[in-house]
Structure 1
Amino acid sequence: MPGIVLIGAQWGDEGKGKATDLIGDKVDYVARFNGGNNAGHTVVVGDQTYALHLLPSGIIHPNVTPVVGNGVVVDPEALFAEIDGLESRGVDCSRLLVSESAHIIAPYHRTLDKVTERFLGKRKIGTTGRGIGPAYADKVNRVGIRVHDLFNPEHLRDKVEASLHQKNQMLVKLYNRRTIEVDAIVDELLGVAERLKPYVANTSLILNRALDEDKTVLFEGGQATMLDVDHGTYPFVTSSNCTAGGACTGTGVGPTKINRVIGVSKAYITRVGEGPFPTELNDESGEWLRQQGHEFGVTTGRPRRCGWFDALVNRYAAQINGLTDIVLTKLDVLTGLESIPICTGYDVTLADGSHAKVSDMPTDQAEFASATPIYEEMPGWSEDISGARSFEDFPQTTQDYVHRLEELSACRISAIGTGPGRDQIVSVHSLID
């Protein structure tokens, strides 16, 4: 059975939770491979809606083993709060596995995240303030704290002292803040160790053995392609690899064990936080999309920036992720529009001040920031498509719109979301062979 990667193909909030839920009962493991509790997935089961942040979406399925991989940064208190919330609603979380090599978000990471954003002022990145970036920075600087460190008090103290040595200098001299006491941090982290311990495991070994035994593993990305620290709209990105390659480094599973990569895209496009967004609509159309699509952050509640579908972004995502399939979500939101614009190119400003028309994503971020979208118009539809259960149930103009997005994205569209419900999806091609 396959290893399957599921990632967002735009700037996030595409509906990855729904896509995971679609195939969740056909897989044995669902493993998160990047990000932290700055992610947000909404899963609707019957009349119940679950907002997940750190936990894999597969935790809703009783026969799936959910895994938090080594590439995730874990805030223990956020993890426990999410577990408690789910268990209070009857969801069994005892199957959860957390990588012993995952890095911990300590209280000082959240402090640094917030003071740094305020210090940057108008140059701020637009983080969630949850300490994600500083935790990843410590990981790369080799002063991070891993889950297994929580079970060795002496080793933990050494690591906290090493991490705070420089940070306290910054807090006092640069940000005019108080120092953070080592003892307080160590005590707080040791206080969560006992509760966390039953979930901790060598998840790389477990996942590799599962694949060797012909089990199906779904690798679930937090955030999305355009927020990838290497391949996104840098510096307005997250601090981890959200693209398909991150599934390997974030779980310890080799690329030869992955044979399907599914990208999730909205039938329009949104993003949160700062950064360039060529098709953004700062007008009535943008507000209409926001209200129709209920575009407010699962994690933060922030209103999302909305725009028309950007084919350059989708084709870029298909290229760097090696997408085999696209799940197109929220197609029903566009119902009622007489015509629907699709961005098929940009007019960009070059370094010498001249202009050029491009049909592929610019790698120069200054060019991308200057991009003005070039649109083609597709006829809309007024028929209610929320009850469609096959592609042929769609009006012809809806079918034409989907076919055009498929052509422009250079990847087949295998499933189409027609509403928030678990059963509101049209399958065109099987997502699991």
Structure 2
Amino acid sequence: MSNVTVIGAQWGDEGKGKIVDWLASRADVVVRFQGGHNAGHTLVVGEQVYKLSLLPSGLVRGKLGIIGNGVVVDPQALLAEIARVVAQGLPVSPDTLKIAENVPLILPVHGALDRAREAARGDRKIGTTGRGIGPAYEDKVARRAIRLCDLAEPETLDWKLDELLLHHNTLLAGHGAETFEKADLLAFLNDIAPKVLPYMAPVADLLEAERKGGSKILFEGAQAVMLDVDHGTYPFVTSSNTVASNAGTGSGMGPAAAGFVLGIAKAYTTRVGEGPFPSELFDETGRVLGERGHEFGTVTGRPRRCGWFDAVLVRHAVQVAGVNGLALTKLDVLDGLDEIRVCVGYDLDGETIRRFPAGPAAQSRVKPVYETLEGWKESTRGARSWAELPAQAIKYVRRIEELVEAPVTLLSTSPERDDTILVRDPFDS
């Protein structure tokens, strides 16, 4: 199978947008299979910069874009994003964008509950975006979600809203927050239905036809493995499974759909929001990494926490997500450093371990065990072949391969699409 699945191998913001855009030129279909508008990809195409949260990146390359059933969709955010990119000259229509008919919707009540809960947590806040993603996923598994197909059935919508508001208004009242009226939500949905229903399609059938026709399908993940609701730094995680095995479940295809799994990792580590971060730097080097890397969240605008490359957590991501190869990004940010450290293990209460502990208390206590490598003075920015890289930079990449037990398939040396060193084309695997 010539499919490729792209996932983050750290805590997100690894530069997936550029890699997905680069691969999309080789694909026929690009599919989003999980997450919501709490994640973002930045694509730089010539002089144009696209910031996408829900729309599949392949639309920028004129490829068919699909939003699978594993995504939770805020219809207002979707329409706003479509309007924004159309204003930039990117055509988006029901011919180029298909949304699964069974996709759950994010309603205003979900965002209100998300923000009320986060405020109530105080010092123990998770760091959510407050956009309602978690509550929408809760409704999905509790079987009370409003799905896209429900907008075409007024009688279904009526009784489903009764059940949904019975639950959410109770919780909102308990938090001292404003509750919602059924008539207001019903009016909101009836107004937005004719604007989003034209995009609705039987995505599972469509993808099966594409598979039988030999199409190359690119699955585009959001967030990253260390934010996976099962395998990440729980509870400081997102509300969906971000690993590659969810590509089939979140799109209506079988378990073999993922194909070649490409994990994206920065040459250092960043994180937005709360939660443990063993290799985080609070010194001048951390500040330099943040400034050079322009480390601000695509969606939130929050400054990212920066630290050395953590081989323990990336090896964990490689293992649980079935990563076949890595795309290593932002190597150029490390240019000019005298020495570079790599976290190769953790000290947990005096014992060295080489795995990420599951418990939050243990996660907060681990201290990084570093290996120090020699830096390089030459610039790697814009390099497009191994021959253009300094010897020490190549040694750094090779050492990462050894530590995470996965080969580097792609190497990115700037935000520009063509500043990429291709070791192995994932679609030819």
Relative to the length of structure 1, the TM-score reads 0.97
What 5-or-longer segments of structure 1 have no aligned partner?
Answer: 350-354
How far the C-alpha of 1:369 sits from its partner, in A, is 1.9
Aligned to 2:127: 126
| 1:284-335: CA deviation from partner (whole Å, max 9, x where unpaired) | 2211111110000110100011110000011111111111110000000111
| 1:122-172: CA deviation from partner (whole Å, max 9, x where unpaired) | 111100000000100111111111100111122112111101112212222
Aligned to 2:139: 138
| 1:199-220: CA deviation from partner (whole Å, max 9, x where unpaired) | 1101111112211211111111
Query: Which range is displaced more, 327-336 or 276-285?
Result: 276-285
What amino acid maps onto 1:412 in structure 2?
P
How far the C-alpha of 1:282 sits from its partner, in A, is 1.7
Aligned to 1:52: 52
Contact 2:248 2:256 in 1 (8 A): no
**Does residue 393 in structure 1 map to residue 393 in structure 2?**
no
**Does residue 165 in structure 1 map to residue 160 in structure 2?**
no
Aligned to 2:347: 347
Aligned to 2:426: 431
Contact 1:110 1:130 in 2 (8 A): yes
How far the C-alpha of 1:366 sits from its partner, in A, is 2.5
Aligned to 1:352: none
| Secondary structure in structure 1 of the residue aligned to 2:427 | coil
**Does residue 68 in structure 1 map to residue 63 in structure 2?**
no
Aligned to 1:88: 87
Once residues 113 and 327 of structure 1 are traced to their aligned partners in structure 2, the CA distance between those partners, rounded to angstroms, is: 33
Once residues 150 and 356 of structure 1 are traced to their aligned partners in structure 2, the CA distance between those partners, rounded to angstroms, is: 56
| Secondary structure in structure 1 of the residue aligned to 2:347 | strand
Once residues 381 and 268 of structure 1 are traced to their aligned partners in structure 2, the CA distance between those partners, rounded to angstroms, is: 15
2:377 counterpart (378, 382, 397): 382
Contact 2:56 2:65 in 1 (8 A): yes
| 1:366-409: CA deviation from partner (whole Å, max 9, x where unpaired) | 32221100001111112121231111210100000000011111
What amino acid maps onto 1:294 in structure 2?
H
What amino acid maps onto 2:356 in structure 1?
M
Contact 2:295 2:304 in 1 (8 A): yes
| Secondary structure in structure 1 of the residue aligned to 2:418 | coil
| 1:216-250: CA deviation from partner (whole Å, max 9, x where unpaired) | 11111111000000111100000001011111111
Aligned to 2:313: 313
Identity %: 48
Aligned to 2:282: 282
**Does residue 105 in structure 1 map to residue 100 in structure 2?**
no
Aligned to 1:37: 37
Aligned to 1:147: 148
Runs of 4+ in structure 1 off by over 3 angstroms are none
What amino acid maps onto 2:169 in structure 1?
N
**Does residue 24 in structure 1 map to residue 16 in structure 2?**
no
| Secondary structure in structure 2 of the residue aligned to 1:30 | strand
| 1:331-378: CA deviation from partner (whole Å, max 9, x where unpaired) | 0011110110000000013xxxxx310122223333222110000111
Once residues 391 and 414 of structure 1 are traced to their aligned partners in structure 2, the CA distance between those partners, rounded to angstroms, is: 12
Contact 1:297 1:304 in 2 (8 A): yes
Relative to the length of structure 2, the TM-score reads 0.97
Contact 2:34 2:241 in 1 (8 A): yes
What amino acid maps onto 1:112 in structure 2?
L
1:411 counterpart (389, 394, 406): 406
Matched ranges for 1:295-306 at <5 A: 295-306=295-306
Instruction: Please report the RMSD computed on the Cα atoms of aligned residues, expressed in angstroms.
Output: 1.0
| 1:171-214: CA deviation from partner (whole Å, max 9, x where unpaired) | 22x21233210010011011111011111101111112211211
Once residues 184 and 16 of structure 1 are traced to their aligned partners in structure 2, the CA distance between those partners, rounded to angstroms, is: 38
| 1:34-72: CA deviation from partner (whole Å, max 9, x where unpaired) | 00000110111112111111111111011x101110000
Once residues 172 and 47 of structure 2 are traced to their aligned partners in structure 1, the CA distance between those partners, rounded to angstroms, is: 47
| Secondary structure in structure 2 of the residue aligned to 1:342 | strand
| 1:67-112: CA deviation from partner (whole Å, max 9, x where unpaired) | 1100000001100111111111111112011111110000100100
Contact 1:150 1:190 in 2 (8 A): yes
Once residues 175 and 317 of structure 2 are traced to their aligned partners in structure 1, the CA distance between those partners, rounded to angstroms, is: 38
Contact 2:219 2:258 in 1 (8 A): no
Query: Which range is displaced more, 251-260 or 23-32?
Result: 251-260
Once residues 240 and 180 of structure 1 are traced to their aligned partners in structure 2, the CA distance between those partners, rounded to angstroms, is: 26
What 5-or-longer segments of structure 2 have no aligned partner?
Answer: none
Once residues 157 and 356 of structure 1 are traced to their aligned partners in structure 2, the CA distance between those partners, rounded to angstroms, is: 58
